[in-house]
């Protein structure tokens, strides 16, 4: 079979590729999630997705070589969060012999950075397809062969930041299109953008029809500043961003915001020092200055539901 000849395989070709009979191919589609589509009554299999599916089922995958971080360095990557920023400052003041830094690359970017060994902790709030849980399905897909450990950082309130008085009288995501509101959006791969896209899909709204949909502001404060400046009418952001800029906020959902590391990094001194900080009065006091946070599960280990 010439794999370069077509991006889609027939049932016989995919059976040859996987080394199984054609009857087993249908079983893999119905029971194991083998990617497939039916065109004019015949099954077709996208080769790139078949390869990805096959790799996701590899057992005992060797862990990739990971660069060693200096003993006193703690590197975060992933979703932007205002309380996390302030907690990193608090960590630095309490641990002058250590350095904690964060890269704002979105939730998906953080998970991929952790998988690639570019950071020790990923900050993520990716809601799953069933909207009943967060992060686990993405970890399974993006981190094959690795053993993540997930700790809750907080729950936080997502919504729309709007000008004082809410001049366009927005109440929900579906109001963006008919109101003609100019949007300050977040980049693809961020949990906030994922939430927006799902709500638009539910409302049957074509995303590009919203002015500003293609904009991409890396942080919640960056997006909210567009509203403050008058360049946008609404921004996808968390409540603390609206509070700090004295803007109005339309609440949409509470979400779980997690810290993801690897089991072999979990007990490293810098990360343990960070976790211990989450149970202190100083951290609680810091969070109390910002509305829109719930610390009821902060610092708790989080595990997927048993299927």
Taking the C-alpha atoms of residue 228 and residue 247, their distance in angstroms, rounded to an integer, is 7
pLDDT value, residue 2: 46
Residue with tokens 């016989």: 12
Confidence (pTM): 0.78
Is 114 found in the same domain as 162?
no
Assigned domain for 2 exists: no
Assigned domain for 65 exists: no
Is 241 found in the same domain as 164?
yes
- The number of residues in the chain equals 307
Q: What is the dihedral of CA 286, 290, 296, 297, to 10 degrees?
A: -80
Domain with residue 25: its CATH number is 1.10.1660.10
Is 269 found in the same domain as 134?
yes
**How many separate helices (H) and strands (E) can be counted in the chain?**
13, 12
Q: Which two tokens stand for residue 164?
A: 């004082």
The tally of domains found in the chain comes to 3
Q: Which two tokens stand for residue 305?
A: 């539901």
| pLDDT tens per residue, range 273-302 | 999 999 999 999 999 999 999 999 999 999
pLDDT category at 40 given cuts 50, 70, 90 is: confident
Is 194 found in the same domain as 126?
no
HSE at residue 217, side-chain half, CA atoms within 13 A, is 20
Assigned domain for 307 exists: no
Angle between helices 11-18 and 22-32 (to 10 degrees): 90
Is 236 found in the same domain as 215?
yes
Beta carbons of 258 and 79 less than 8 angstroms apart: no
Helix (H, G, I), strand (E, B) or coil at 87: helix
| pLDDT tens per residue, range 191-213 | 999 999 999 999 999 999 999 99
pLDDT category at 61 given cuts 50, 70, 90 is: low
pLDDT at residue 69 greater than cutoff 80? yes
Assigned domain for 224 exists: yes
Assigned domain for 67 exists: no
Beta carbons of 245 and 225 less than 8 angstroms apart: yes
The range of the structural domain enclosing residue 273 comes to 73-156+256-302
Assigned domain for 61 exists: no
Domain with residue 142: its CATH number is 3.40.190.10
């Amino acid at each position: 079979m010439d794999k370069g000849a077509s991006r889609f395989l027939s049932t016989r070709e995919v059976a040859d590729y996987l080394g199984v009979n054609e009857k087993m191919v249908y079983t893999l589609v119905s029971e194991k999630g083998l990617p497939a589509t039916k065109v004019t009554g015949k099954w077709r299999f996208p080769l790139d997705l078949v390869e990805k599916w096959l790799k996701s089922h590899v057992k005992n995958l060797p862990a990739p070589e990971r660069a060693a971080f200096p003993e006193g360095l703690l590197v975060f990557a992933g979703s932007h969060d205002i309380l996390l920023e302030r907690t990193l400052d608090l960590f630095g003041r309490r641990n002058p012999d250590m350095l904690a830094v964060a890269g704002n690359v979105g939730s998906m970017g953080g998970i991929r950075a952790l998988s690639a060994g570019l950071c020790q902790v990923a900050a993520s709030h990716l809601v799953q397809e069933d909207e009943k849980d967060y992060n686990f399905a993405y970890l399974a897909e993006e981190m094959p062969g690795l053993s993540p450990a997930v700790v809750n950082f907080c729950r936080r309130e997502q919504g729309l930041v709007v000008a004082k008085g809410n001049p366009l009288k927005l109440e929900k995501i579906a109001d963006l299109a008919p109101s003609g509101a100019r949007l300050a959006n977040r980049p693809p791969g961020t949990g906030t953008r994922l939430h927006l896209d799902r709500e638009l899909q539910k409302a049957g709204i074509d995303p590009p029809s919203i002015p500003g949909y293609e904009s991409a502001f890396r942080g919640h404060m960056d997006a909210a500043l567009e509203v403050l400046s008058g360049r946008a009418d609404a921004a996808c952001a968390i409540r603390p961003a609206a509070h700090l800029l004295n803007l109005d906020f339309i609440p949409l959902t509470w979400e779980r915001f997690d810290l993801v590391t690897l089991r072999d990094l979990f007990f490293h001194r810098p990360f343990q020092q960070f976790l211990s900080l989450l149970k202190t009065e100083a951290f609680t006091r810091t969070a109390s200055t910002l509305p829109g946070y719930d610390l009821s599960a902060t610092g708790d280990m989080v595990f997927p539901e048993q299927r």
